[in-house]
Each structure stands twice: as C-alpha cells, then as structure tokens.
Structure 1
C-alpha cells in the first residue's frame, strides 16, 4: 500500500470515526436498557438515536453517522446468514417449509395491495409487509438497504422498525395465551409462534416460555422466515434496477454484496465447518451491527417527522400483523 493510500485511509477513518463511535455508544446504552427492562433493543436504539438527532447535522459526526446507517447495516444483514443451516430446516419436514413460503409471499402481496388501496407507495407495502412476514426490524433494515432511494425512504424505514418492534413485544405476551386458548399441540404452538412473531428474540422468549419443544420448533420456523430474506432482497434489488439510476451513478448489482455474504455464510454454516463459538460470535456481531445502524438511522430523523405520519400507516401495520396471525392459524387448521 502506497503512502498516499495510507494517508487517504487515515483521513477517511478520522472522518467516519466520530459518527460511528457515537452510534456505538447509543447502541450500548440501548442494549443496557433492553437487558434491564425487557423491551426490544431496536426500539431503545431508535428512540435514543432520535433524541440525539442534532448530531446528524454536526459536521464532525454527520459523515460517520451516514456511513454507519448504510454500510454497518449491510454488514449486519450479511452476518444474519450465520444463524441458518439447511439441516435445521430439513429436520422439521416439508410442511413448515411450505407454510413459511406461503405466508411470506401472501403477506407481502396483500401488504402491497393494502398500501396501494390506502394511498401509499407500493414500496412501503413491500417494506412493512416484508418486515411483518420475515423477521421484523432486521428485515425492514435489509429491505431498505436494497430498495431504491427516495425522499421518504428513511422515514418509512424508521416508522416500520418502530411499529414491528412494538407489535413484536405485544405478540410475545399475547400469542402464547392464544396458543393455550386454542389448545394447540407443542408442534403447532411452535409453528404458530415462529410463523407470526416478528423478531427472533421475541420468538425465543415466547417459545421457550411455553416449553423446550415449543421453543425449539418456534426458533427453527423463525429461522426459515429469516432465510426468506434472500429472495425478497433479490426482488427488491430487481425493482431498484428496473427503476433506473440517477445520471452519473452506477447501476446497482442484481444481488447486493450483503445478500451474497448472507448466502455464503448460510451455505458454510450448513456444512458444519464453522465452529459453534464462531456461529455465536457472528450472531452477536450481526445483532450489534444492526443495533448500531438503527441508532444511526434514528439520529438521522426527528420524532416530529414520525408523529406527522398519521393513523393510516399504523392501521396498515396492525392489519398486516392481524392478517399474518389469521393466515398461519388457517394453515395450521386446514393445511398441516
């Protein structure tokens, strides 16, 4: 590496470091609050980030915050692949696989149609529907990274993260009660919880709260939903390419690098060559990257902007969540 390149790297690092460090500090504070009060860490990171939104306009932190919200987010999405193995999916048989594919596809299509009917851009339906159907805040962030840029994209992303985090916490409390009331077997209870709750952490909490067998099934079904992130990202990337690019900018790849990383890590993890300690470390690093990124996104917006969205987006997300619950229960009743 030449002296010029080293100097340029050092200059870039000094430019980006303040914004990254403040995002990491917010993420650490959010993690502390989440561990002590039991609320979703993404929700705390988002709210704390918005409380510090003045930093995004500061010349010292601005570039680092923008870099963190974009590139650290993509790294976190790529590392999600280390959670998944084909063996986990095969162990439950073909029926849960079919259920997951159907619920993801149908929920996203219904969400897009509902968004259009309510006067929103169809991309908001894809974003909120993907977050609801796949893996909550992580899916919202991943899809946002792949979708085309527009003036309301960050506001839509933050609102979606806020909505799915709140609904996921509520689901962790209510859905086990629903499973008990309906008399679902441990297998069906696990499929119900894993197929409906938005975030992985809440699935684990609700599932193992009902028993080990329920928790094991719920976790694997949830990881199947996480695996659906790849084809949905691919569709989002195709939409981005189809819409063209701004003059002077490069055409985006059909499959973003973070999606390629997701596939490679999932494939390697399926072979068994990745030690368990590396899997656990990669999973934790993925979580940290996503929390740091959502803190940075929070700093790029203002609470009054989210408060101005009105009731219709809230109704859309509640409707998507309710539809997903009814769809999964119907499939368990008549299709499984």
Structure 2
C-alpha cells in the first residue's frame, strides 16, 4: 500500500484544489479535477506516482460508486409515484438504446455507445466511470472515458443554465419543471443548482427525480457486466473478464437496502455521501492524469455529435412523457 501513496496523495491534492476553485469561482469541481489532472499527465507515465494513480483511478473510483447507495431508499422511489418512476426508467433504457444505435450508425464501437448513452441517461461522470469499470478494455478505453466525462460535465453545466430559462419561458408548473430538470440534466450537483434556482418545490422534485436515475446505476451496470461476460468476443478484451457481480454494485445495493430500512443514521449517511463525492473527485483527477490531451482530441467530431444528440434525445423524451402523463 505504501508504494501507492505518492500517486494517491497527488490525486487528492488536485481534487482539493479543484474543490477550492469550484467553491470560489462556481465552476464544476469534477470538470476542474479532470482538467487539472490532465495537466499532470507526465506523472502517470513513469516514476513513483504511477502505481498510486492506477490504484486511485480504479479502486477509489469503485469505492465512491458503492457509497452512492446511501442516497437511495425505497421510500424515495414510492414518493415519486409509479407513472413518473416508469418515465424515468424508460428514459434511462431508451437513451442507452439510442446511444448504441447512434454509435453503430456513426461507425463507433458499442463500448462508446454504452459509455456515452449510460452517462447521459443516469448520472453523468459517476455513471461513465462505473460503466467503464465493467466494460472490456482496449486501447481506446481511457480516451473514451475522459472524453465522456469531459463532455457530460460541460453539457450538464450548459443545461444547468439553459434549462431553467426554458422551464420559465414555457411556464412549466413547479412539478413539471422539477421532473424536466431532474430527468434530463446529467450531474446531481447541477440538477440541485438548476432546480432550486427556479423554486424550492422545483428543487425538491428535481433532486428526487435525479436520485431515481442514480438508483438505476446498479441494475444497468449489473446487466452490462453480465452481458459482456456472455457475449464479448475473445478479441474484444485485454484477456480479463469482468467479475460476475462487481463488488461496487454489491456495495451500492447493500447501502441502498440499509438506507431503505432506516438502518443508517442521518449523520452517518451525510458523512458517507460526502466521502463518496470526495472519492469520485479524487478518482477523476487520477483518470485525468492517466490520459493525454492529444488523445482526447483524437476522438473526432462524430463522438461530439453523438453525445449532444443523446442529451437532446433524453430532454425531448422526458418532456413528451410529462405531457402524455398530464402533469
């Protein structure tokens, strides 16, 4: 463990710097951690920091995703109502399907379609990192992950500003605005910011809807993991098969179950939620350190078109669903 400390500490310092800048200047902390990490790419190429950066980008990431489960409970889902829960689930499934179809039409690999579609459909950077952890790896894996995290974070920030304006322009009720914002914006923090900028009720509904999308992370990752194990071709992996049931999915479901039965005190839940956020922030700094900016730029215009199209698709889908349900 000692040989991993230098790399972990560098990633932690980058994450702290990103959080400090975020709090003082309002930029998304995840985006800042990623960009600052890319600036320190040379540390991941060789030297004492390399083992710790590898460990942080993989294991610390999984710990952060597992701890996300403390935000989820059965009571939370029941409070939203069966029709809106159905809309949220349909939005997640159809957006991932749209991503796979779009990737195929544009000549991109199925991994890229799953990665971008899942991150847009569920919870942005956190979902991208969780899905990436169970996909078979190839020479483009890290480049695609960095591109996806960077893109969904930027798009989420744009949506945080633009979507509340749209909601007020079209005179949505507080509930409809909350469902729209929570069902379409990628990252949790941006959903909260956008929702409460409209009204207190909109903020509460938006956060609730968003957390239902976050709850979809475990089943989606589980299905991807099982499907990959069964159908991935021999030449599509680096020789390692993903585990049957990733430990971070087990952890996510375990903490969500405990929280549903009220077995996690509020103070402990808040602490674990904060720890999850820091783990994800530190791990995304490490992921940034592992990838050069030149490799990100090689991803091409088709990839940008696909992720923007997925973002528009889920926005139109949620609005159509709300209209059909009569909210």
TM-score category, normalised to shorter length: over 0.9
The 3 A distance-change label for structure 1 pair 169 and 188 is: same
Counterpart for residue 234 of structure 1 = 222
Counterpart for residue 125 of structure 1 = 113
Contact 2:136 2:242 in 1 (8 A): no
Q: CA deviation at 1:307?
A: 1.4
| 3-state SS of 1:76 partner | helix
In 1, Cα distance between the equivalents of 2:275 and 2:238? 35
Counterpart for residue 335 of structure 1 = 325
Contact 1:85 1:270 in 2 (8 A): yes
The 3 A distance-change label for structure 1 pair 22 and 121 is: same
Counterpart for residue 122 of structure 2 = 134
| 3-state SS of 1:175 partner | helix
Equivalent residues in 2 for 1:196-275 (5 A)?
196-242=184-230, 243=232, 251-275=241-265
Alignment counterpart, residue 317 of structure 1, candidates 299, 307, 320: 307
Q: Does 1:79 align with 2:63?
A: no
| 3-state SS of 2:318 partner | helix
Alignment counterpart, residue 102 of structure 2, candidates 111, 114, 117: 114
Counterpart for residue 281 of structure 1 = 271
Counterpart for residue 41 of structure 1 = 29
Gapped runs of 5+ residues in structure 2? Answer: none
Counterpart for residue 173 of structure 1 = 161
**TM-score under structure 1 length normalisation:** 0.94
Superimposed CA distance per residue, residues 285-314 of structure 1 (whole angstroms, 9 cap, x where no aligned partner): 001111111100101111111112221111
Alignment counterpart, residue 103 of structure 1, candidates 87, 91, 101: 91
Counterpart for residue 281 of structure 2 = 291
Contact 1:244 1:251 in 2 (8 A): no
Alignment length, in residue pairs?
Answer: 324
In 2, Cα distance between the equivalents of 1:104 and 1:272? 27
Bigger-Rg structure (1/2): 1
CA RMSD of aligned residues (A): 1.5
Counterpart for residue 307 of structure 1 = 297
Contact 1:190 1:207 in 2 (8 A): yes
Counterpart for residue 51 of structure 2 = 63
Q: Does 1:17 align with 2:34?
A: no
Contact 1:176 1:193 in 2 (8 A): yes
Counterpart for residue 175 of structure 2 = 187
| 3-state SS of 2:264 partner | coil
Contact 2:64 2:279 in 1 (8 A): yes
